Amino acid sequence: MKLLVCLVALIMVLTPLATAKDLRIARAESVGMSSERLARIKPLLQRYVDEGKIAGIQTLIARKGKIVHFEQVGKLDLDTGSDLKDDSLFRIYSMTKPITTTAAMILYEEGKLRLDDPVEKYLPAFKNQKVLIDGALVDVTHAITIRELMSHTAGLTYGIFGNSPIDQQYRAAMFGEDYQFDFSNTTINADASKIKTLDDLVNAIGPIPLQYQPGTQWVYSLSVDVLGAVIEKISGQTLDIFMRERLFEPLKMNDTFFEVPQDKIHRFGTLQLKDAEGKLVVIDRPKTSGFSNNVTFFSGGGGLVSSAMDYLRYSQMMLNGGELNGVRILSPTTIDLMTRDQLSKEMRLKYDPRPGIMGDVSFGLGFGIAVQSPRIRSGSKGTYRWAGIAGTDFWIDPKEDLTAMVLVQMMGYPPALRNEFKTLVYQAITEMN
């Protein structure tokens, strides 16, 4: 009886999505999972909300192309008090990066770019670069490549997460000499930025010296934004149009965009942060957000808004070897290439200084990659994933034919949630592939 109740509740939650032809709802047991064990997830989400740690959480799991869990708890908008719903829209921030890399690989398959092409071939602002080493400018050993943009090994940085001389030059170029980046107010940051287009970004950071020799270190950076500029130059289209025509429309990702349409703004919620007293406060609102007002900077590194179902369509396409519902985006061989380890052992140690905590991970083309299964907390070797700064996270496990995600809208979200959710996903598997 308990199992039946759990199943009925699950079906009631998922029924509004049953019209999707490519991703259908299934009993967990039909794909080797336990409905009863999946029911352990909601109390976890509810606890985080009840304790005031997070305003709202949404989770989704699909296995063997079937949706077996889709749950949301808490609020979409703290100002209005509206609840999260299955069609709510999220700032996915860096979960944009895998999509942008996928867009570039479409051009790769068409022979319009090569992974080892120098970036300067498409973006002249990156010609004649230097590297700042111990206070001295030295020549680059080679011009940065498209592959290095995709793998964050190009020598670029973000400018906002560190305080090196190069970080300081980035901040000055993007915001002005005296500007202090403030994660507590994303609207002010957007307004203060000098960067209004991808061309602006390229012209601002292209002449700045690299932080390290290309291909020698992994450093999280603006490289995928630069990749977006490459896509624009090759395609002759702005990044938003290219993605819409080549990815979103073919995959029926009707709720993924750089600017939230006004007729969908009610599905877009607030972004939160905890203040010094531990209280959740709103730092970005739907109607005034930089994601909903005259967007001209199409950030391939962090600019998309999407829904759980849309991102599932993207993830399932990747898991299917580049195809979804009869529409092929990429070849299986290209997916394999994207999910291969691109880092040396030495680079991996710098990328992940805490292997015992995070698992042994590396980086491919657009994704973090699990490379050594014995030290992975849960999941399989070959699993690939990425996350966004406001608490969105997804992963794809090809061995278990599974994809899952957790979606939050909070800067400084509790990172333990990800690991706890992941544990509950894998403990619900009763038949391993």
More confident residue, 331 or 182: 331
How confident is the model over 347-354, as a mean pLDDT? Answer: 58
* CATH number of the domain within which 326 lies: 3.40.710.10
Residues forming beta bridges with residue 386, ordered by sequence position: 394
Give Cα 108 distance to the centre of its chain. Answer: 21
Query: What three-state secondary structure class fits 302?
Result: coil
Distance CA 123, CA 119 (A): 6
pLDDT > 70? residue 224: yes
Six-digit token string for 280: 């959740």
Question: What is the distance between the alpha carbons of residues 167 and 210, in angstroms, rounded to a whole number?
Answer: 10
Residue type, position 76, single letter:
L
Number of domains in the chain: 2
3-state secondary structure of 199: helix
**292 and 307 together in one domain:** yes
Residues 265 and 333 reside in one and the same domain: yes
Give Cα 313 distance to the centre of its chain: 14
Residue where a domain stops, chosen among 243, 262, 286: 243
Q: Has residue 152 been placed in a domain?
A: yes
Confidence of residue 17 (pLDDT cuts 50, 70, 90): very low
Query: Residue 68 above 80 pLDDT?
Result: yes
* Mean pLDDT of all residues belonging to the chain: 90
Rounded Cα gap, residues 372 and 211, in angstroms = 29
Proportion of the chain above pLDDT 90, given as a percent = 81
pLDDT higher than threshold 60 for residue 15: no
Torsion from C-alpha of 116, 197, 202, 229, nearest 10 degrees:
10
* Structural tokens at position 275: 């203040």
Asked if residue 269 has pLDDT above 80, the reply is yes
Range of the domain at 379: 2-90+246-427
Model confidence at 208: pLDDT above 80: yes
Is residue 145 situated within a structural domain?
Answer: yes
Does residue 334 lie in a domain region?
yes
Find where tokens 């999910």 sit. 339
Pairing relation of β-strands 402-407 and 393-397?
A: antiparallel
User: What percentage of the chain exceeds 70 in pLDDT?
Assistant: 90
Residue 37 inside a domain? The answer is yes
Looking at mean pLDDT, say which of 110-114, 168-172, 373-377 comes out highest.
Answer: 110-114
Looking at the fold, whether 224 and 260 belong to one and the same domain comes out as no
- As a whole number of angstroms, the distance between CA 246 and CA 163 comes to 38
Q: Does position 414 have pLDDT exceeding 50, yes or no?
A: yes
pLDDT in tens, 279-330: 999 999 999 999 999 999 999 999 999 999 999 999 999 999 999 999 999 9
SS3 of 117, please? coil
Same domain, 295 and 386: yes
Question: CA torsion 374→380→386→388, rounded to 10°?
Answer: -80
At 69, is the pLDDT very low, low, confident or very high (cuts 50, 70, 90)?
very high
Q: Is 258 left (phi over 0), alpha (psi -120 to 50) or beta?
A: alpha
Are 351 and 233 contained in the same domain?
Answer: no
- Does residue 105 share a domain with residue 53? no
Would you call 253 helix, strand, or coil by DSSP? coil
pLDDT band at 349 (very low <50, low <70, confident <90, very high): low
Closest CA to 302 of 11, 61, 97: 97
Specify whether 261 is located in the same domain as 374: yes
Mean pLDDT of 236-242: 98
Confidence of residue 373 (pLDDT cuts 50, 70, 90): low
Cβ atoms of 64 and 56 within 8 Å: the answer is no
| Tens-digit pLDDT profile for residues 132-163 | 999 999 999 999 999 999 999 999 999 988 88
Region 363-376: what's the mean pLDDT?
Answer: 80
Query: Above 80 in pLDDT, residue 264?
Result: yes
Domain end: 217, 243, 269, which one? 243
Contact predicate 411/272, CB 8 Å: yes
For position 350, what pLDDT does the model report? 63
Give which of 423, 387, 375, 383 is closest to 400, Cα–Cα. Answer: 383
- Average pLDDT, integer, range 234-238: 98
- Residue-wise pLDDT tens digits, 43-66: 999 999 999 999 999 999 999 999
Q: Does residue 266 share a domain with residue 412?
A: yes
The model's pTM is 0.92
State residue 344's pLDDT score: 86
What's the whole-number mean pLDDT along residues 68-93? 98
- Domain presence at residue 95: no
Cα distance from N-terminal residue to C-terminal residue, the chain: 28
